[in-house]
């Protein structure tokens, strides 16, 4: 007999409370990396020199996106289970685009109506319109915001997983899909072919596959093949994470990106360990309003924190010490992001979300909408 897919520690709508916290931690990690390490043009100085004690830890925030990808693999497989292509496409459109369009409008407003120069993408009106599709990288158009790069990886994941949606999701088919993708991604990495790399995403595929395998464990219990996929993904993820951090160090220098290989290995290991605990039901959190609010704020925070930094950090640097400027900007980013969710994103989603004829069909949709990641 198949066990229930709704764990006891989930909310009434099927939402895993612990994922809300993990998603928020991932967003804060990315924010910390940008604010305390990466955004030299925003500060007018090297952030790592302004925050020498925090920079080695904040630099690891570059891997917050990798945590997002594992959670995405977990949740998107939950999304497509038992659903058709139309339902999946609608859920993704409603989930991703409202906050994205609002953040794009914010970027256009900041660089079009103010004298802000830091992180300016220097795009034409046509380029901004292409960005509105979220497929700008397909057309070789620059991102309006630096954080948009990960959305292109997510979109490609959705396109690949459409194969499963069309075929019909079953335990066996998911195992075949994960195995084929992992082997093909490894082959693409070894071949170094740019077209294959663009399609198969060898540096990010292991995270998505690991998330999907962990969801199989969560849904059906432990089995040897899903754990083999997790182990293989972990090994490939270490290689990918080290390569990404090394690339950043080559660009900025170790002084400005003071992250060691050991720290990267430990961080990736912790990410996999925590997600394994979630899959096994060993990391359980009772649903609380605060966690719900944090989960709701995550996607807008990821999208908006850059433009908020551009607006607030330059004028505050002359009036406050660096630590106070970073703290005020972080708090402002969280507050603004929650307001964006509560007052704009959620109402827009309610308008766009198709009506359901029964509670039986509505409940899983809420589950997916509220647990998915950017």
pLDDT in tens, 50-89: 999 999 999 999 999 999 999 999 999 998 998 899 989 9
pLDDT of residue 352: 77
pLDDT of residue 365 exceeding 60, the answer is no
Strand partners, 16: 10
What's the count of helices (H) and strands (E) in the chain, helices before strands? 17, 0
pLDDT of residue 5: 41
Contacts of 348 (CB under 8 A, 6+ apart): 98
| SS3 state at 83 | coil
Mean pLDDT, to the nearest integer, of 202-220? 97
Contacts of 197 (CB under 8 A, 6+ apart): 188, 189
| pLDDT band for position 351 (cuts 50, 70, 90) | confident
pLDDT of residue 101 exceeding 50, the answer is yes
pLDDT of residue 14: 52
pLDDT in tens, 272-318: 999 999 999 998 888 788 888 888 899 999 999 999 999 999 999 98
pLDDT of residue 106: 97
Residue 87: which of 299, 347, 349, 354 has the closest Cα? 354
pLDDT of residue 262 exceeding 80, the answer is yes
pLDDT of residue 229 exceeding 70, the answer is yes
CB-side neighbour CA atoms (13 Å) of 70: 28
pLDDT of residue 215: 97
- Select the more confidently predicted residue: 27 or 366: 27
- The per-residue pLDDT of the chain, averaged, comes to 90
Residue 264: what are its φ and ψ, rounded to 5°?
-65, -45
> Could you tell me the pTM of the whole model?
0.90
pLDDT of residue 286: 83
SS3 content of the chain, % helix, strand, coil (to 5): 75, 0, 25
Mean pLDDT, to the nearest integer, of 98-107? 96
What percent of the chain has a predicted confidence (pLDDT) above 70? Answer: 90
pLDDT of residue 144: 97
Contacts of 153 (CB under 8 A, 6+ apart): 69, 201, 204
**Which whole-number Å values give the CA distances from 313 to 39, 254, 366, in the listed order?**
10, 24, 37
Residue matched to tokens 């909408």: 369
pLDDT of residue 185 exceeding 60, the answer is yes
Q: Is 298 exposed, middle or buried (0-12, 13-18, 19+ CB in 10 A)?
A: buried
293 touches 338 (CB < 8 A): yes
**Which whole-number Å values give the CA distances from 227 to 161, 220, 270, 360, in the listed order?**
20, 12, 16, 32
List b or e across 78-94, with b for residues whose CB sees 16 or more CB atoms inside 10 angstroms. bbbbebeeebbeebbeb
| pLDDT band for position 8 (cuts 50, 70, 90) | very low
pLDDT of residue 284: 85
Q: How far apart are CA 299 and CA 301, in angstroms?
A: 5
């Amino acid at each position: 007999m198949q066990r229930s897919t709704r764990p006891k520690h989930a909310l009434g709508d099927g939402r895993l409370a612990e994922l809300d916290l993990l998603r928020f931690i991932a967003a804060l990690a990315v924010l910390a990396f940008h604010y305390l390490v990466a955004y030299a043009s925003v500060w007018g100085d090297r952030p790592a020199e302004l925050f020498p004690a925090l920079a080695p830890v904040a630099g690891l925030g570059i891997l917050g996106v990798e945590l997002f990808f594992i959670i995405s693999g977990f949740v998107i497989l939950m999304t497509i289970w038992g659903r058709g292509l139309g339902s999946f496409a609608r859920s993704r459109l409603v989930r991703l685009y409202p906050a994205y369009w609002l953040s794009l409008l914010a970027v256009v407003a900041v660089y079009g109506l103010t004298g802000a120069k830091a992180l300016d993408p220097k795009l034409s009106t046509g380029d901004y319109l292409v960005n509105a599709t979220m497929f700008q990288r397909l057309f070789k158009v620059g991102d309006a915001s630096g954080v948009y790069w990960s959305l292109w990886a997510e979109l490609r994941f959705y396109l690949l997983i459409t194969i499963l949606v069309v075929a019909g999701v079953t335990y066996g088919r998911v195992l075949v899909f994960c195995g084929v993708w992992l082997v093909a991604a490894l082959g693409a990495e070894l071949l170094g072919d740019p077209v294959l790399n663009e399609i198969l995403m060898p540096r990010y595929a292991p995270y998505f596959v690991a998330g999907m395998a962990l969801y199989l464990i969560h849904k059906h219990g432990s089995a040897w093949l899903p754990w083999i996929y997790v182990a293989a993904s972990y090994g490939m993820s270490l290689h990918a994470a080290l390569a990404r951090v090394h690339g950043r160090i080559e660009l900025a220098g170790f002084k400005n990106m003071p992250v060691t290989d050991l720290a990267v290995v430990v961080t990736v290991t912790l990410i996999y360990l925590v997600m394994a605990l979630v899959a096994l039901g060993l990391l359980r959190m009772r649903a609380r309003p605060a966690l719900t609010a944090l989960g709701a704020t995550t996607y807008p925070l990821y999208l908006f924190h850059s433009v908020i930094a551009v607006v607030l950090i330059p004028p505050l640097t002359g009036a406050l010490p660096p630590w106070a400027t970073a703290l005020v900007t972080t708090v402002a980013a969280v507050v603004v992001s929650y307001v964006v969710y509560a007052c704009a994103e959620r109402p827009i989603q309610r308008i766009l979300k198709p009506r359901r004829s029964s509670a039986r069909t509505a409940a899983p949709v809420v589950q997916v909408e509220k647990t998915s990641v950017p």
